[in-house]
Amino acid sequence: MTIFYVCDYCHKHNPEMCGYEDRQELRVAPDGRWLCISCWDEEKSSQDDPPWPDWQDASAPPRYVPGAAS
C-alpha cells in the first residue's frame, strides 16, 4: 500500500502533481495547510504577518498510521 501526502494548494490548482510518497516533501504552514516547497516559497513571499519560518525550520506533516484516530 502506498500513502500519498498532498499539498493543499496543488490539490486545488494542480491535482495531477500534488501527491508525494515521502511526507518530508511537504511542510505544515503556520495556517495549518500542507504545502510542497514550490507552494511554500510562493506563499511565504506573499505573507508579512506573521513571518513564515524557512522551509527547513518548519515541520513535516504527521506520519499516517492506519486506524489511528485523527
Q: How many CB atoms lie within 10 A of CB 4?
A: 11
Specify whether the CB–CB gap between 38 and 69 falls below 8 A.
Answer: no
Q: Return the closest-CA partner of residue 34 out of 10, 68, 3, 70.
A: 10
**pLDDT tens for each residue of 40-66:** 998 888 876 677 889 999 999 999 888
According to DSSP, the residues that pair with 5 across neighbouring strands are 20
Domain ranges of the chain: 5-57
**The three cell numbers locating residue 8:** 493543499
Task: Tell me what pLDDT residue 69 has.
Answer: 62
Give pTM, 2 decimals. Answer: 0.82
The DSSP-derived string for 9-28 is HHHHH-GGG-EESSGGGEEE
